[in-house]
Amino acid sequence: MKILAVDDDPIILELLAHFIDTLTDHKVVLASCADEAIDVIQANARSPFDCFLLDIQMPGTDGITLAGKIRAMEPYTDTPILMLTAMSEKVYIDAAFTAGATDYVTKPFEMSELKARLSLVERAFDRRKASTGKIFATQAVSPEYNKVTPPINLHEPVAIYDVDNLIDFMALENYIQQLSRNDLFGSTAFAFTIRKIEEFHRTMSPFEFYSVLVDMGEIISDTLGGSQFLMAYAGNGTFICITESGWCPDTRALANSINLTAAKTELFDNQGQRIEPRVCAGEAIKLIWKTSASVMDAISAAHASAESASAAYQKNQNNVWQIGLTA
Amino acid sequence: MIHQKLELPGIERIRTRFLELLRERQVSIAEHALTAWESDELEKINGSLASARTLLHQIAGTAGSLGFEELGQEARTVETEIDDHLNGADADLAICPGALIYHMSDFVQLCQTLTAAQPETAQSA
């Protein structure tokens, strides 16, 4: 990978350069502030970077703002961004992930930990490059773009951009794993699944399907807008949300709000036919007192709960229809 | 004081560079502490503390990775104390808590002990 490391401390830059040169096959370019980083990125436009290592607290533009600026650049919408910082407070972690960070390493870092993190990033980067490629969220898309949207695997996470508080699924997993037990106090996980997602996937073009995910992601994000949360699309029509501050949401009421907004939003497929995606909500699961491993189990449980609710809804609909026939 | 298990090939060069920089940083921290202690202007006091805090933050971020764990932890402690003061109820008063100055002084002494054990290179001398 070609990596850009940005930190105002020359010792950190020396350490990173030495570590990467000595222990990995990656190539690293160094910058001592955000402005220099932007210049370096522009100077390397023909040979873009594959990964960024950003310090959070720097004079002038900080690393969180820089992460947002990098994410806004077309070649870097899904390039891994690792935050390297001594600031382990949750408020900075949240801000970093919301701005587009993929993962987070606390300084002073252990070389073995940094190596492991880079390996994870590299594997994810390779997987992504080999599978779906880049999909850009945009409301006004040209017909040419429509033709090149790559196939989307129903069961795999898809990166969705430009939706507030919606981050990459891998970043959400990293975010949860970085939270300490104290940080988890008052956090709750829940999920929404788009009903009949298999049907949408089967009958729609990849672009149409992706547009449904973006639209529903926006509606869910807007509905949760008044609270502090992060969410990600986990695949199979399911959006997983993490909220905090002791708020344990009434997920069914939220699902009703989401569906009401979806009903008021006129959505059409490429043939001009109106489509009506609706969601089912799973149970809200509190993360308090859970260990790192069981937190991930709780996330899986929230995911499964929403999908079960969707399946149960569909089954009830079928039963009603059958009862109607009998009657 | 130095973490014995840290053995990345060639790390000694960076450790030496860190100690060279620590000589300059400890002087700056001492100067900022003195200015904050002797001044009766709010902006000068808080500005000096903020400048010292930036240096402590940088030391805390790298010292542990280079084997100077105690130094890193002390830097983090003093950094947090400055943060607490600058974000606390007395932040808008032209005072610098005496305890903070003592802790900054202790930190500077710790730096001096470490750098004294390391011979100065021709470049830094």
More confident residue, A224 or A296: A224
Instruction: Read off the pLDDT of each residue in A158-173 and give the average, rounded to a whole number.
Output: 88
* Contact with chain B for residue A89, Cβ under 8 A: no
**Adjacent-strand bridge partners of A279:** A194
State the smallest CA–CA distance between residue B125 and chain A in angstroms: 19
Count of domains observed in chain B = 1
Is residue B94 domain-resident?
yes
Residue B83 lies in a domain: yes
Residue A317's pLDDT is 73
pLDDT at B46: 95
Can you give the pLDDT at residue A135?
38
**Interface test with chain B among A107, A114, A115, by most B beta carbons within 10 Å:** A107
A126 touches chain B (CB under 8 A): no
Q: In terms of CA atoms, which chain B residue is nearest residue A19?
A: B8
> A19 and chain B: CB distance < 8 Å anywhere?
yes
Residue A107, min C-alpha distance to chain B (Å): 5
Beta-carbon contacts of residue A67 (< 8 Å; ≥ 6 apart): A52, A54, A81, A83, A96, A99, A100, A101
A11 to chain B: which residues are within 8 Å by CB? 14, 17-18, 21, 58, 62, 66
pLDDT given at position A57? 86
pLDDT beyond 80 at A192: yes
Q: Which residue has the tokens 């994810």?
A: A124
- pLDDT band, residue A225 (cuts 50/70/90): confident
Q: How far is CA A45 from CA A74, A76, A99, A128, in A?
A: 11, 11, 22, 21
Looking at the predicted structure, is the pLDDT value of residue A161 above 50? yes
**The pair of three-digit structure tokens given for residue A319, joined into one six-digit string:** 């039963």
Share of chain A above pLDDT 70, in %: 84
Query: How much is the pLDDT for B5?
Result: 45
| Cross-chain CB nearest to A14 (options B14, B64, B76) | B14
- Which pLDDT value is given to residue A130? 61
Which class is A1-130 in CATH? alpha beta
B3 has a pLDDT exceeding 60: no
Helix A90-98 crosses helix A169-178 at what angle (to 10 degrees)? 170
Q: Is residue B9 part of a domain?
A: no
pLDDT at A115: 85
pLDDT, mean of residues B16-44 = 94
Does the beta carbon of A278 lie under 8 angstroms from any beta carbon of chain B?
A: no
What is residue A322's predicted lDDT score, i.e. its pLDDT?
Answer: 58
The one-letter code for the residue type at A178 is Q
Name the token pair of A317: 């609909």
Per-residue pLDDT tens for A40-72? 999 999 999 999 999 988 888 999 999 999 998
* A293 vs B101, higher pLDDT: B101
Q: What percent of chain A has pLDDT over 90?
A: 38
Q: Which residues on chain B are in Cβ contact (under 8 Å) with A111?
A: 8, 65
Confirm if A53 and A5 have CB atoms less than 8 A apart.
Answer: yes
Neighbouring-strand partners of residue B48? none
For residue B90, what are its two tokens?
């007395």
Residue in A11, A14, A33, A87 to test binding to B, most B beta-carbons within 10 Å: A11
> Taking CB atoms and an 8 Å limit, are B65 and A57 in contact across chains?
no
CB distance A81 to A70 below 8 Å: yes
Whether the per-residue pLDDT at A235 is higher than 90: the answer is yes
User: What local confidence, expressed as pLDDT, does residue A140 receive?
Assistant: 36
Alpha helices, DSSP H, located in B1-125: 11-38, 42-62, 69-86, 98-116
Same-fold call for A1-130 versus A136-327: no
pLDDT of residue A175: 83
Residues in chain B: 125
Q: Quick count: other Cβ atoms within 10 Å of Cβ A122?
A: 18
CATH top class, domain A136-327: alpha beta
Of the candidates A101, A112, A236, A111, the residue with the CA atom closest to the CA atom of residue A170: A101
Q: Which stretch of A16-20, A44-48, A114-118, B11-15 has the lowest confidence by average pLDDT?
A: A114-118
> Could you write out the DSSP letters of every residue in A184-251?
HTT-EEEEEEETTHHHHHHHS-HHHHHHHHHHHHHHHHHHTTTS-EEEEEEETTEEEEEE-TT----H
C-alpha distances in Å from residue B43, one per residue of B39, B48, B55, B93, B94: 9, 8, 18, 10, 8
The minimal CB distance from B64 to the residues A18, A22, A108 is found for: A108
Interface check for B8 against chain A (CB to CB < 8 A): the answer is yes
Report the complex ipTM. 0.84
Taking the Cβ of residue A112 and every Cβ of chain B, the question of whether any pair is shorter than 8 Å is answered with no
Q: For B40-69, what is the mean pLDDT?
A: 93
The burial class, CB within 10 Å (0-12 / 13-18 / 19+), for B116 is: exposed
Is residue A136 scored above 60 in pLDDT?
A: no
pLDDT score recorded for residue A131: 54
Q: Residue A173: is it exposed, middle or buried by C-beta count within 10 angstroms (0-12/13-18/19+)?
A: middle
Q: How close B86 comes to chain A (CA, Å)?
A: 17
CB pairs under 8 A between A and B: 55
pLDDT tops 70 at residue A325: no
Under DSSP, the state recorded for A33 is S
For residue A144, pLDDT beyond 70 = no
pLDDT of A221 higher than 70: yes
Phi, psi of A57 (to 5 degrees): -95, 105
Q: With beta carbons less than 8 A apart as the criterion, state whether A269 and A215 touch.
A: no
The confidence band for A260, taking pLDDT boundaries of 50, 70 and 90, is very high
- How does residue A113 score in pLDDT terms, banded at 50, 70 and 90? confident
- Domain membership flag for residue B96: yes
Residue A163 contacts residue A214 (beta carbons within 8 Å): yes
Nearest CA in chain B to A58: B54
Q: How far is CA A54 from CA A4, A7, A64, A170, B62, in A?
A: 8, 6, 8, 18, 15
Per-residue pLDDT, A30: 97
pLDDT for res A226: 75
What pLDDT is recorded for position A67? 93
CB A107 within 8 A of CB A85: yes
Contact flag B62-A22 (C-beta cutoff 8 Å) = no
Over range A167-181, report the average pLDDT. Answer: 80
Tell how far CA B17 is from the center of its chain: 16
* Residue type for position A42: Q
In this predicted structure, the answer to whether residue A321 has a pLDDT above a threshold of 90 is no
User: What is the C-alpha to C-alpha distance for residues A57 and B57, in angstroms, rounded to an integer?
Assistant: 9
Shortest CA distance from A15: residue in chain B: B14
Closest Cα to residue B64, out of A103, A124, A111? A111
> Does a structural domain hold residue B1?
no
B58 neighbourhood in chain A, CB within 8 Å: 8-9, 11-12
Please give the residue that has the higher pLDDT: either A211 or A144: A211
Answer whether A57 sits within 8 Å of B17, measured CB to CB: no
Q: Measured between CB atoms, does B50 come within 8 Å of chain A?
A: no
Of A327, A220, A227, A199, the closest CA to residue A279 belongs to A220
The residue ranges of every structural domain in chain A are 1-130, 136-327
Mean pLDDT score across all residues of chain A: 83
pLDDT at position A220 is 95
- Interface contact B18, partner A, CB < 8 A: yes
